Amino acid sequence: MLMSLWRRGALDLESMVSFRRPLDEINDGLDDVRAGRGIRTIVDLR
């Protein structure tokens, strides 16, 4: 259901991402989430 909404453009997932961090900043990302500084943090594994 959620996937079909996203595919149709009815669900904006990008607006739900607060931070993008490289893998070496994963602890900072966890701190952000725990402190309530954002909705969601994405860790880039590249």
Phi, psi of 28 (to 5 degrees): -65, -40
Neighbours of 30 (CB within 10 A): 13
Residue with tokens 């996203």: 6
Asked if residue 24 belongs to a domain, the reply is yes
Asked if residue 39 belongs to a domain, the reply is yes
Residue 23 belongs to what domain range? 17-46
Asked if residue 11 belongs to a domain, the reply is no
Asked if residue 10 belongs to a domain, the reply is no
pLDDT at 14: 86
Asked if residue 7 belongs to a domain, the reply is no
pLDDT at 44: 93
Asked if residue 46 belongs to a domain, the reply is yes
Residue 4 has pLDDT above 90, yes or no: yes
Asked if residue 2 belongs to a domain, the reply is no
- 0.85 exceeded by the pTM? no
> What angle (nearest 5°) sits at the alpha carbon of residue 14, between those of residues 1 and 3?
15
Q: pLDDT tens digits, residue range 11-44?
A: 998 888 999 999 999 999 999 989 999 888 999 9
Phi, psi of 43 (to 5 degrees): -105, 120
